[in-house]
């Protein structure tokens, strides 16, 4: 887009168009789910555009199809009604059959989509942020109720989020579909032996590398993992020669975690390289994965770690308990319980065979329940069903292509 004008292509393509709307298109679990959906949905079924209310970064290169357009609207923070005319014009020019928004920050696009005559308006709930860790924020519930008349259907990534929509927000169950994230098991797979990580200073094959991957923001709470690592070394000094910490990602908590490690005198036993684009290889270089989040929807990184054959220690928030079978594929601890996290890390470091067995069980669960094919088919079924039902309603026909 340049000077407020849009360049729209493929207007004569008869495949229904899905407009995926996000607040920002950058590295993250939500965004990765959109990438996986677009890359794996059969190209002869739907075509796609990605609309970011703010920015689109180089993350767009993760989409492998060459028929996907991208639009960044440069929206200012907060609810900005001034963006409605811009979205209205874009939807009128693109003529999508479906607008699919994600999370509360993008929910407002349902209004201009409705005004522009988009036949199907889907909203996805992918997780919670630091302002609503347990879903009790009444303002956020009220906002979702306000936009309800403009949304055709909702998709919840976990049973926890499905219950939130139906019980706390009051959505009719018939208007909510629960679909788990899927993971690409061909891209994320176990290594027979732990693989060296490019640039990582820890290469001892007898060592134990625990790690995490994700944006280092308050809701992800990576400082709790740094504190747990410090406590493990104090409580189990015999592990100091073997146990190492790897924390991948950028954000404000990176400096805080580094400072905690330095103050404890163990910074040389941890590696915090920032953002990386070789996550599958990094996971194959770990012995265990830890997710210390304060809130989650359905974590892509947990699924990727499980697919990579890693035991997972995660906080019991959001959909984490729907992914990790405590005592079998990993362990669950209460959020911010640093001592419990430290104990679980130590247990796996002391008993590598137990850790390996949990990782193998996790891989089997992913193959059985969380395949990317099942996720893609779930979304396609919803798209197909809603378009079919809308086309039968007077005045609700899909766009007629010239």
Quick: pLDDT tens for 105-135.
999 999 999 999 999 999 999 988 878 888 9
Q: What is the pLDDT of residue 297?
A: 87
Q: What is the pLDDT of residue 6?
A: 59
Cα 28 to Cα 95, 126, 319, 332, 377, distances in angstroms: 28, 11, 17, 22, 22
Conformation bin of residue 4: beta by default, left when phi > 0, alpha when psi is -120 to 50 = left
Quick: pLDDT tens for 268-310.
999 999 999 999 999 999 999 999 999 998 899 999 999 999 9
Domains of the chain: residue spans and CATH = 17-182+371-391 (3.40.50.2000), 208-369 (3.40.50.2000)
DSSP conformation letters of 323-359: H--BTTTEEEE-TT-HHHHHHHHHHHHH-HHHHHHHH
Cα 307 to Cα 19, 283, 361, 369, distances in angstroms: 29, 10, 10, 11
Whether 3 shows a pLDDT value over 50: the answer reads no
Tell me the two tokens of residue 23.
Answer: 């607040």
Asked if residues 197 and 231 have their Cβ atoms less than 8 Å apart, the reply is no
Q: Which residue has the tokens 């219950």?
A: 163
CA separation for the pair 65, 47 (Å, rounded): 10
* Mean pLDDT across 154-168: 96
Q: Which residue has the tokens 């519930």?
A: 141
Asked if residues 38 and 100 have their Cβ atoms less than 8 Å apart, the reply is no
CA separation for the pair 152, 388 (Å, rounded): 13
Quick: pLDDT tens for 36-49.
999 999 999 999 99
């Amino acid at each position: 887009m340049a000077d407020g004008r849009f360049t729209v292509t493929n207007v004569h393509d008869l495949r229904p168009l899905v407009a995926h709307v996000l607040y920002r298109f950058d590295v993250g679990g939500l965004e990765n789910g959109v990438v996986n959906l677009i890359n794996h949905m059969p190209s002869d079924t739907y075509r796609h555009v990605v609309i970011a209310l703010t920015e689109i970064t180089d993350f767009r290169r993760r989409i492998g199809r060459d028929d996907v357009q991208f639009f960044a609207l440069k929206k200012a923070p907060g609810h900005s009604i001034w963006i409605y005319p811009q979205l209205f014009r874009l939807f009128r020019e693109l003529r999508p059959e479906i607008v699919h928004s994600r999370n509360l920050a993008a929910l407002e696009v349902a209004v201009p989509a409705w005004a522009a005559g988009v036949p199907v308006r889907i909203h996805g709930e992918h997780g919670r942020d630091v302002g609503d860790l347990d879903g009790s924020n009444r303002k956020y519930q009220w906002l979702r109720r306000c936009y309800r008349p403009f949304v055709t259907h909702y998709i919840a990534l976990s049973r926890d989020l499905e219950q939130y929509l139906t019980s706390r927000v009051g959505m009719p169950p018939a208007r909510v579909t629960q679909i788990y994230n899927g993971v690409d098991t061909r891209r994320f797979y176990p290594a027979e032996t732990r693989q060296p990580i490019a640039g990582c200073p820890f290469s001892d094959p007898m060592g134990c590398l625990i790690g995490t991957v994700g944006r280092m923001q308050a809701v992800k709470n990576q400082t709790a993992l740094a504190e747990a690592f410090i406590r493990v070394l104090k409580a189990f000094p015999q592990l100091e020669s073997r146990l190492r910490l790897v924390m991948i990602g950028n954000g404000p908590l990176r400096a805080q975690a580094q400072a905690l490690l330095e103050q404890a005198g163990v910074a040389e036993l941890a590696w915090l390289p920032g953002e990386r684009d070789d996550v599958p290889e990094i996971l194959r270089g770990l012995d265990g994965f830890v997710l210390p989040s304060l809130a989650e929807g359905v974590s892509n990184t947990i699924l990727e770690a499980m697919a990579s054959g890693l035991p997972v220690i995660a906080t019991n928030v959001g959909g984490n308990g729907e992914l990790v079978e405590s005592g079998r594929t990993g362990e669950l601890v209460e959020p911010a319980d640093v001592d419990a996290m430290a104990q679980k890390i130590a247990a796996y470091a002391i008993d590598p065979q137990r850790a390996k067995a949990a990782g193998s069980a996790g891989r089997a669960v992913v193959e059985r329940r969380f395949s990317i094919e099942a996720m893609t088919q779930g979304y396609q079924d919803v798209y197909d069903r809603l378009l079919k039902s809308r086309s039968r309603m007077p005045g609700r026909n899909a766009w007629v292509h010239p």
